[in-house]
Amino acid sequence: MSIYLLRRLGLALVTLWGVVTFVFLLIHLIPGDPVESMLGEGARPDEIVAMRKSLGLDLSLSEQYRNYWSDLFRLELGTSFRTGETALKTLAQTYPATLQLTLCSMLLGIMIALPCGVLTARRQGSLFDSTVSLISLLGISVPHFVFGPLLIIALAIRWPLLPVSGMGRWTHLVLPAITLGTALAAVLTRMIRAAMISELARPYVVTAFAKGLKERRAIYLHALKNGLMPVVTILGLQFGGLLAGAIITETIFSWQGIGRLMIQSIQARDYPLIQGCILGISATYIVINLLTDLAYSLLDPRVRY
Amino acid sequence: MKRLSAGYRAFSLTTRVSLWIILLFAAAALFSPWLAPYPYERQNLPHRLEGWNRQHWMGYDELGRDILSRLLYGARVSLMVGVVVVVGSALLGTLVGAVSGYYRGWMDDVLMRVVDTLMAVPGILLAIAFVAFRGPGLTNLITALLLIGWVGYARLVRGEVLKVREFDFVQGVLASGASDRRVLWRHIFPNIVDPLVVQVSLGMAGAVMSEASLSFLGLGITPPTPSWGSMLNAARNHIFEAPHLTLFPGLAIMLLVLAFNFLGEGLRQLGNRPWGEHR
């Protein structure tokens, strides 16, 4: 158990190191001189020199890298070019909105996928099964930026039940959560179905049926508990899909979360803030996956790396 | 040819329909200069945002350009990016995966740690980051998608190679003194083609979707070249008065991605059948 824990923690740390290095190197990916491209064409030479110095870009690459890490440990992610606020503060302001959206979407996705996945596994080959399979494949194939606007056209313009975009009341959350949540449900349904099918074929489930347990009891008490184990891991992995989807969904619905902040920063070439957003999203994903894997190994002691 | 037609006959109806839809889109992409009724950049400002009529089957966009013509040219961008990204990632990933799985040892360890790290972060986020700093455009878009694309193939091929290399016939060929290269490409590779083909079909769906996503965010194809993603992005500002700007490119993406997903799914089911049943 403890060796597994250490290895899993090691992988998370290596990944985190990889992400930080990637984010650090991003500034050097800018074609030409990064400082000149940040300041625009009309910049004076002394401005360029001052900017380069203030960003530490006049140092050698290894010194820059060391400084980047020490800044990171002091939670200094730089200052936004656009607003002059620290990147950390701006991130902290938008982070809860993204968390709210992704968690609601996840809840919605599970609420749809769980019954659908279990029922289709139980009634394999039935009309219900093939219909759900078709819809879920459709759900996987419809990108957020198609489904979102279609929802707006239908539920906010044609039949104005919900607000088009923005934040404020809970009604603003409904359309973006449906956009993200149904896409997640499509993926989850297929996975829960597959997991349940293999679980229902296990001898202990057959025994449960054979000794005359009611179908409900056999499925929900015995098979579901074990069948859902791999789904826990999948949920963690799918959280990445949700975070990535949030970038697009927040843009569509003007939901002021970290994803929209990132796109706005990209458009404004606000590089420190872009880097902060990438770090924030990746770190969230890495931590969530670490936690799900640890939870999984607690739930199922057989798991070894 | 005989095997091809036998394979086609083994397809289910949905798989066949998907194949035809893909071929239809491919034809649209190849022949768009001849099929498109108007040049994709010709503006007709007095008619901007107007709906369909006899001459313009899908209406006009925000600059009065013919939407149908732009969709046809957009198919070209989507499929071109998709093919380049998928072929490139599959080649690179197969090479890495084959080397990793066949030779194992420290190379395998290093390569798989790289794969693990790349898989532990949402791929599209890395692509967005790359393009955000490199700047939009076709080359950077394709580079970004290649950067994240090869990983899946590498892991798949490695797993398959690890499995197949232990088969008796491979061990036999090895014992008879065949070179590594010969064993890998003549004996192991043919046995891992099936899952690879499935992955390629699903990968096309993913690549088309990623291109459209990045273009939607203004990070992909730059104007005036039409891309379905950037068409949808422009349509957002006119969603109230002209929903058809959203509808048609949206349907196009949906249909093409769906077709690739169905094809991949159909191929997978075909591959899952017991040996001999479909040959």
Domain ranges of chain B: 2-30+60-278
The pLDDT assigned to B277 comes to 43
pLDDT 10s digits, A160-215: 877 777 777 787 888 899 999 999 999 899 888 888 888 888 888 788 778 877 77
This model of the complex carries an ipTM of 0.85
Higher pLDDT, B202 or A80: B202
pLDDT 10s digits, B161-174: 888 888 888 888 88
pLDDT 10s digits, B204-229: 999 999 999 999 988 888 778 888 88
Give the start-to-end residue ranges of the domains of chain A: 94-304
Percent of chain A at pLDDT > 90 equals 11
For residue B278, pLDDT beyond 60: no
Q: Would you say A140 and B258 are in contact if contact means Cβ atoms under 8 Å apart?
A: no
Report how far apart, in Å, the C-alpha atoms of A57 and of each of A17, B51, B270 are. Answer: 21, 53, 56
pLDDT averaged over every residue in chain B? 84
For residue B49, pLDDT beyond 80: no
Copy the structure tokens of residue A160: 């104005």
Round the CA-based radius of gyration of chain B to a whole number and report it.
Answer: 22
Find the range with the poorest average confidence among A119-128, A222-231, A260-269.
A222-231
Q: Which of A22, A143, A153 sits opposite B212 (nearest CB)?
A: A143
Residues of B within 8 A of A293 (CB-CB) are none
Task: Return the CATH class of domain B2-30+60-278.
Answer: mainly alpha
Q: What is the dotted CATH code of the domain comprising A94-304?
A: 1.10.3720.10
pLDDT 10s digits, A62-74: 888 888 888 888 7
Higher pLDDT, B1 or B89: B89
List the single residue in B with minimal CA-CA distance to A28. B133
For residue B82, pLDDT beyond 80: yes
Confidence label for B247 from pLDDT (cuts 50, 70 and 90): confident
Interchain CB distance below 8 Å, A248 and B217: yes
Rounded to two decimals, what is the model's pTM?
0.87
Residue from B18, B121, B233 to probe the interface with A (highest A Cβ count within 10 Å)? B121
List the single residue in B with minimal CA-CA distance to A152. B239
Q: Show the 3-state SS of A47-69.
A: HHHHHHHHHCCCCCHHHHHHHHH
Crossing angle, helix B244-272 and helix A127-141, to 10 degrees? 120
Question: How far apart are the CA of A258 and the nearest CA of chain B, in angstroms?
Answer: 12
Which residue in A190, A187, A189, A183 sits closest to A252, CA to CA? A183
Higher pLDDT, B240 or B133: B133
pLDDT 10s digits, A240-296: 888 888 999 999 888 888 999 999 888 888 888 888 899 989 988 888 888 888 887
Q: How many CB atoms lie within 10 A of CB B142?
A: 19
Confidence label for A305 from pLDDT (cuts 50, 70 and 90): very low
Interchain CB distance below 8 Å, A145 and B216: yes
Confidence label for B9 from pLDDT (cuts 50, 70 and 90): confident
